[in-house]
Amino acid sequence: MDLADYLLKFVGTPYLWGGNNVSVGVDCSGLVNEGIKAMGWFRSYSKKDRNSKGLWLELYHDARWMEVRLDDIIKDDVLFWGHGHENMNHVSVALSRNLMVESGGGDSSTKFIWQARKKNAMVRVRPIDERKHFLVAYRYIGEE
């Protein structure tokens, strides 16, 4: 199973700030961490969940991941968003050149499921070009 296909199983799961349990609720980094862990693509010493910047640093320093440009995105690429590497604020996974799966629609105030429902914040499929401030993408290329 592909990373993107695995994450599609969680469409409709509520967005929860800091959430990392796909049975209860996840934020963007919690969703992507879950997928990468399920694929076995983290180093064995990397057990903790990371925020968007921490996840980017992990992939940046791992030779099994290759940086790709927005124009070269394919299914399963991990996409990072924000205002520079010091201010990353979102991560998602490409389903195609045009679509991504993300946990979105919430923010740091979305800490309870009722808040997520009120904001319609959840794991969802969304066009890539609807999100602003793309920074970089990474592709898993396998063992060194």
Q: Are 101 and 93 in contact (CB under 8 A)?
A: yes
Q: What pLDDT score does 48 carry?
A: 58
Q: Please tell me the total count of domains within the chain.
A: 1
The CATH number covering residue 113 comes to 3.90.1720.10
Max distance between CA atoms of the chain, in angstroms, equals 45
Q: How far is CA 106 from CA 15, 38, 110, 122, in A?
A: 6, 24, 6, 8
Segments in the chain forming alpha helices (H): 3-8, 28-39, 52-60, 113-119
d(CA 90, CA 92): 7
In the prediction, which pLDDT does 104 show? 94
Q: 52-60 vs 28-39: helix axis angle to the nearest 10?
A: 40
Domain span including residue 124: 3-140
The pLDDT of residue 29 is: 92
Tell me what pLDDT residue 49 has.
57
- 144 residues of the chain, pLDDT tens digit each: 799 999 999 999 999 999 989 999 999 999 999 999 999 888 654 555 578 888 888 898 889 999 999 999 999 999 999 998 888 899 999 999 999 999 999 999 999 999 999 999 999 999 999 999 999 999 999 875
Predicted pLDDT at 44? 53
Exposed, middle or buried, 27 (CB in 10 Å: 0-12/13-18/19+)? buried
